[in-house]
Structure 1
Amino acid sequence: MRNNETVRIPVATGGAVTATLFAPGEPVAVLVVHPATATPQGFYASFAGYLAEHGIATVTYDYRGTGRSGSPRDHRDLGMRDWIGADAPAVAAWAAERFPALPRLAVGHSLGGHVIALGAAGPELSAAVIVASHVAAVHTIPSFLERVRVRVMLHVLGPALGRLLGYVPASKLGLGEDLPATAMTEWGSWARMRNYFFDDPSMRAAERAATVTAPILAVGTSDDPWSTPSQMDALTGHLTGTTVERRTYAPAAAGVPMIGHHGLLRRSMRDAVWPELVAWLHAHAAKATR
């Protein structure tokens, strides 16, 4: 039997995030799903429910100023570093407090993978899966047309609309959920840098990545227009304090025409990919309880 519960989790720097707990009757581990930029927690509901069906209590959430965690206009001064450095640790701490005796796991999608790679997914993490997360510099996007589109969105339209409206109507730009203006500005700034936030001294990204000790499974797809296998490796290469296992899924092998940046966590991957992820998580949760 599974119960879903909506919770409000205070953030140390102010405000709160809205989260959903998918709880099995007798969980064997607790896991937090750290979301991608502009991706609402509802997107992860099927995956979270699947994890709960397999004994893993799972928490999904929205970063402040997105989805159910407040309007982007009211949180216009929040940047991505605030989501990574304050929101994600708050949710991880809440999950650990709610299930203190259970192994702690994490799944990070895109920006959520940066949460894990920068050591912000909580202390005493037993293992984590990074999904479609990479060094997200625009110059690494293989397609010329996609590079142009992303540059226009991140460096022209997004910042201009943020200054005009106090938030970025990303939903109208094809970028997902609406975003706080500062988050868009910071995203665009990092995307200009050759090595993304690793070139931002204020982030201390390489130093933080080197502190991660939990085993990592980094998964991506062969048809992701942004998170290419080489750029995923560029991210995980900074995880020098742990072991990283890499897997790349191709659409043909998964029995679908395309997977893309979000596809691994869609319901269509329930039979082709999710059992492998759950098996890996269960194996590491079991090691943590020995």
Structure 2
Amino acid sequence: MADGATYAHSRGPLKKAEVFKTTDGAELVGEFFLPVNAARGALVMNGATGVPQTFYRAFAEYAAQEHGFVVFTYDYRDMGRSGRGSVRRSTASMADWGLQDQQAARAYVRRNFPELAFWTIGHSLGAMTLPLQQDTDGIDRVICVASGNVSHSDHPWPYRAQALMFWFGLGPVVAGVFGYVPGKLLGIGADLPGPAYWQWRRWCTSKNTFGDEAGRSLPAIHWDQPQTQVKFIAFDDDVMMPPHCVKRLAGDYGKTDTDVTVITPEAHGLKAVGHLSAFSRKNRAIWDQILA
């Protein structure tokens, strides 16, 4: 376990593997990135579906070195460095990642750095489920990046054709045959456990957030944290999570469309950002705006 008092006197950025457990017993692996000087706050990075924590390493180092944060990245259960055995046998669901794992990471960082202001950055899934979670008191700032409530009918063409194939064509076929979705083989990211894929499919092919599971098999949507600053960032070239879907999520936080910042890549000298590349090193030009 990390020792916040020890870290406070370390020169950085320090990177150290951390193992922690969720309340239901899953063992997860994360990593701290430490600033050189006194920290201004602690920041937990909740990743997107199928995206390993290593993808966020450059951003974590930047947030630590240039903005003075203690940054914690981690992998959801049965993903990346938190992988345990064959993904085919995994029982991990999207709800496990979005509720159990995210809450455990937040609690772990709080235990180690209780004296620091606390921030959360959620990329896609990383902020989508926060309004369902318990123990959200004490979060000073939430930054939602390319995170929203989306249905397959929200995607623009021609990307919608790919989404339809993933939800109604090739995706169900390979999930049924393999027992999981071989993302690496298909070139769409990490391998996804079967339960996670099927739940994700229900959420993204329903007109209602979480496919009517919220308030039934999942906690009800309830965000009542007026002291928490919540910031939403969308990208106008994001075909997977168009800006109007980010604005839909803002409603779950009790916010309006005016609380959503829509970034145009060209305004920052970038060719494209899209859905997954906001934290890619090549798009470093937008990182200050994310952390502002």
Same fold (TM over 0.5): yes
In structure 2, what is the equivalent of residue 63 of structure 1?
A: 76
Match of 1:167 among 163, 168, 180: 180
Match of 2:236 among 222, 232, 254: 222
2:30 maps to 1:19: yes
Match of 1:199 among 199, 205, 212: 212
Count residues with an aligned counterpart.
276
In the TM superposition, what whole-angstrom CA distance separates every residue of 1:199-219 from its partner, at most 9, and x where no partner exists?
3242556x4343344211100
Q: Identity percentage over the alignment?
A: 29
Tell me, yes or no, if the aligned pair for 2:91 and 2:194 is still in contact at 8 Å. yes
Structure 1 SS opposite 2:129: helix
In the TM superposition, what whole-angstrom CA distance separates every residue of 1:25-66 from its partner, at most 9, and x where no partner exists?
421210100000011111100110011112100011111111
In the TM superposition, what whole-angstrom CA distance separates every residue of 1:177-214 from its partner, at most 9, and x where no partner exists?
11111000001111111123163242556x43433442
In the TM superposition, what whole-angstrom CA distance separates every residue of 1:126-158 from its partner, at most 9, and x where no partner exists?
001000011121111111x32221122133333
Q: Which amino acid aligns with 1:169?
A: P
Tell me, yes or no, if the aligned pair for 1:154 and 1:184 is still in contact at 8 Å. no
Structure 2 SS opposite 1:6: strand
Structure 1 length-normalised TM: 0.88
In structure 2, what is the equivalent of residue 5 of structure 1?
A: 16
Structure 1 SS opposite 2:172: helix
CA distance in 2 between counterparts of 1:100 and 1:242 reads 31
CA distance in 2 between counterparts of 1:219 and 1:76 reads 32
In structure 2, what is the equivalent of residue 87 of structure 1?
A: 101
Structure 2 length-normalised TM: 0.87
2:117 maps to 1:106: no
Following superposition, the deviation at residue 262 of structure 1 comes to: 1.8
**Map 1:170-189 → 2, pairs under 5 A:** 170-189=183-202
CA distance in 1 between counterparts of 2:268 and 2:120 reads 23
In the TM superposition, what whole-angstrom CA distance separates every residue of 1:208-253 from its partner, at most 9, and x where no partner exists?
3433442111001110012111111111112127998321111210
Q: Which amino acid aligns with 1:49?
A: E
Structure 2 SS opposite 1:5: strand
Tell me, yes or no, if the aligned pair for 2:148 and 2:247 is still in contact at 8 Å. yes
Q: CA RMSD in A?
A: 2.2
Q: Which runs of 5+ in 2 are unaligned?
A: 1-11
Tell me, yes or no, if the aligned pair for 1:134 and 1:235 is still in contact at 8 Å. yes
In the TM superposition, what whole-angstrom CA distance separates every residue of 1:90-109 from its partner, at most 9, and x where no partner exists?
00000000101111100000
Following superposition, the deviation at residue 117 of structure 1 comes to: 3.8
List structure 1 segments (4+ residues) > 4 angstroms apart after TM superposition.
Answer: 241-244
In structure 1, what is the equivalent of residue 7 of structure 2?
A: none
CA distance in 2 between counterparts of 1:150 and 1:183 reads 16
**Structure 1 residues 121 and 2: CA distance shift in structure 2, 3 A:** farther
